[in-house]
């Protein structure tokens, strides 16, 4: 199936503190495209604008100038209610802190987005059980988050983000609270979802090894896209070394 344009940014500028002495331009005229089935990692040094970039691409924040289109819709022109509904229908979010509700069971945490949309309880049950089975957490559904490991809680967060069948999964440092084993398992899961189900992913990471699971890396520096690498036909090892070389060369410029 031919890929279609899923996300497009045109000349996106983000300015904080507009009109004040502390005014700061965090993104400078960003142009960016993402097709369905892409797995894009956003990298760059601290303060480069990675989280700002992802937030402005995914409706968490809105650009000061420029346009963002998701599935052909201009999100910057939407009203608050329309944007909230659009976000729910098209985007799934995964955060470093998991953001699970400890007073709810794993089942209830996964079901939250569907419950908020007043879906029929039988449909919710079928969907939650299906996604839990896909992620290997079906045995945890009656447990509470504090009874689960970090890896299990992160899988729950992934399940919650996928349960609405979003067009894009947005993940900001999703392995930040995981050990290397659970990080590898999560990224293997992401790659499998991307390869077999065509789930599109936009993810922030500082780790070259984690980025090597993606299909494309964009490198931000001082609010600009400095470089882009596509995996193409490279093996994961070859791709990893290419990402390492990019990070090393960009870091070296600091000392030149």
* 172: phi then psi, degrees, rounded to nearest 5: -105, 105
pTM value surpassing 0.85:
yes
In a domain, 10, yes or no: no
- What pLDDT shows up at residue 254? 57
The overall longest dimension of the chain from CA atoms, in Å, is 62
Helix (H, G, I), strand (E, B) or coil at 208: helix
Residues 78-89 have pLDDT tens digits of 998 899 889 888
* 57: phi then psi, degrees, rounded to nearest 5: -80, -20
In a domain, 193, yes or no: yes
Count of structural domains within the chain: 1
CATH number at residue 199: 3.40.50.300
Q: Which domain holds residue 239?
A: 37-61+84-253
- Written as tens digits, the pLDDT of the chain (256 aa) is 456 899 999 999 999 998 888 899 999 999 999 999 999 999 999 889 999 999 999 999 999 999 999 999 999 889 988 998 898 889 999 887 788 999 999 999 999 989 887 789 999 999 999 999 988 899 999 999 999 998 899 889 989 998 988 889 999 888 887 888 888 888 888 888 899 888 899 999 989 999 999 999 999 999 999 999 999 999 999 999 999 999 887 766 655 5
In a domain, 133, yes or no: yes
Helix (H, G, I), strand (E, B) or coil at 93: strand
In a domain, 1, yes or no: no
In a domain, 22, yes or no: no
In a domain, 238, yes or no: yes
In a domain, 162, yes or no: yes
In a domain, 159, yes or no: yes
């Amino acid at each position: 199936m031919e890929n279609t344009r899923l996300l497009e940014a045109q000349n996106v500028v983000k300015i904080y503190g507009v009109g004040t002495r502390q005014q700061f331009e965090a993104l400078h005229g960003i142009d960016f495209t993402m097709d369905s089935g892409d797995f894009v990692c956003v990298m760059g040094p601290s303060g480069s604008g990675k989280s700002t970039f992802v937030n402005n691409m995914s409706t968490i924040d809105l650009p000061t100038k420029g346009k963002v289109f998701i599935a052909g819709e201009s999100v910057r022109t939407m009203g608050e209610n329309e944007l909230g509904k659009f976000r729910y229908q098209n985007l799934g979010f995964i955060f470093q802190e998991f953001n699970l509700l400890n007073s709810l069971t794993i089942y209830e945490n996964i079901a939250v987005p569907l419950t908020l949309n007043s879906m029929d309880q039988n449909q919710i049950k079928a969907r939650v059980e299906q996604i839990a089975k896909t992620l290997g957490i079906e045995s945890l559904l009656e447990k509470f988050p504090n009874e689960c490991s970090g890896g299990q809680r992160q899988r729950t967060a992934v399940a919650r983000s996928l349960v609405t069948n979003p067009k894009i999964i947005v993940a900001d440092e999703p392995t930040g609270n995981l050990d290397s084993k659970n990080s590898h398992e999560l990224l293997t899961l992401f790659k499998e979802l991307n390869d077999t189900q065509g789930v599109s992913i936009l993810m922030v990471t500082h780790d070259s090894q984690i980025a090597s699971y993606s299909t494309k890396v964009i490198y931000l520096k001082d609010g600009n896209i400095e470089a882009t690498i596509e995996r193409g036909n490279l093996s994961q090892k070859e791709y990893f070394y290419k990402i390492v070389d990019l990070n090393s060369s960009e870091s070296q410029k600091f000392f030149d």
